[in-house]
Amino acid sequence: MQVTFKIWRQSNAEAKGSFKSYPIDGLSKDMSFLEALDHLNETLVLQDEEVIAFEYDCREGICGQCGVFINGRAHGPHDNTTTCQLHMRSFEDGSTIVVEPWRAAAFPVVKDLIVDRSGLDRIIEQGGFISAKTGTAPEANAILINKEVADKAMDAAACIGCGACVATCKNASAALFTSAKINHLNSLPQGKQEAVRRVLDMANQMDREGFGSCTFTGACQVECPEGISITNIAEMNALRLKAQLLG
CATH number for the domain harbouring residue 227: 1.10.1060.10
Residue 199 confidence (pLDDT): 96
**DSSP string over 19-46:** EEEEEE----TTSBHHHHHHHHHHHHHH
Q: Are residues 139 and 57 in the same domain?
A: no
Q: Parallel, antiparallel, or unpaired for β 73-74 and 96-100?
A: unpaired
List all residues 6 or more positions away from 68 whose beta carbon is below 8 Å from its beta carbon.
Answer: 54, 75, 83, 99, 100, 101, 102, 113
Q: Which of 68, 91, 110 is the last residue of a domain?
A: 110
* CA-to-CA separations, 81 to 66, 113, 178, in angstroms, rounded: 11, 18, 20
Q: Are residues 31 and 75 in the same domain?
A: yes
Q: Please report, in tens digits, the pLDDT of each residue of the chain (247 residues total).
A: 999 999 999 999 999 999 999 999 999 999 999 999 999 999 999 999 999 999 999 999 999 999 999 999 999 999 999 999 999 999 999 999 999 999 999 999 999 999 999 999 999 999 999 887 777 877 767 888 999 999 999 999 999 999 999 999 999 999 999 999 999 999 999 899 899 999 999 999 999 999 999 999 999 999 999 999 999 999 999 999 998 888 6
Q: Are residues 95 and 129 in the same domain?
A: no
* CA-to-CA separations, 136 to 133, 139, 140, 143, in angstroms, rounded: 9, 9, 12, 15
Provide the CB-side half-sphere exposure for 191 (13 A, CA).
19
Rounded CA separation 169/222 (Å): 10
Q: Are residues 93 and 184 in the same domain?
A: no
Are 100 and 8 within 8 A, CB to CB? yes
Q: Are residues 132 and 239 in the same domain?
A: yes
* CA-to-CA separations, 220 to 7, 109, 135, 233, 235, in angstroms, rounded: 24, 21, 39, 11, 16
Residue 138 confidence (pLDDT): 74
Q: Are residues 71 and 150 in the same domain?
A: no
Q: Which of 59, 85, 110 is the last residue of a domain?
A: 110
CATH number for the domain harbouring residue 73: 3.10.20.30
H/E element, 220? helix 219-223
Q: Are residues 64 and 126 in the same domain?
A: no
Q: Are residues 90 and 207 in the same domain?
A: no
Q: Are residues 138 and 230 in the same domain?
A: yes
Of how many residues is the chain composed?
A: 247
Q: Are residues 122 and 242 in the same domain?
A: yes
Rounded CA separation 157/167 (Å): 20
Q: Which of 85, 110, 135 is the last residue of a domain?
A: 110
Scored b (16 or more CB within 10 A) or e, 236-245 reads bbebbeebee
pTM assigned to the model: 0.93
User: Cα–chain-centroid distance for residue 65?
Assistant: 7
Please give, one letter per residue, the 3-state secondary structure of 47-78: CCCCCCCCCCCCCCCCCCCCCCEECCEECCCC
Total domains in the chain come to 2
Q: Can you give the residue range of the structural domain that contains 28?
A: 3-110
Q: Are residues 124 and 235 in the same domain?
A: yes
- Look up residue 212 and give its amino acid: G
Q: Are residues 134 and 216 in the same domain?
A: yes
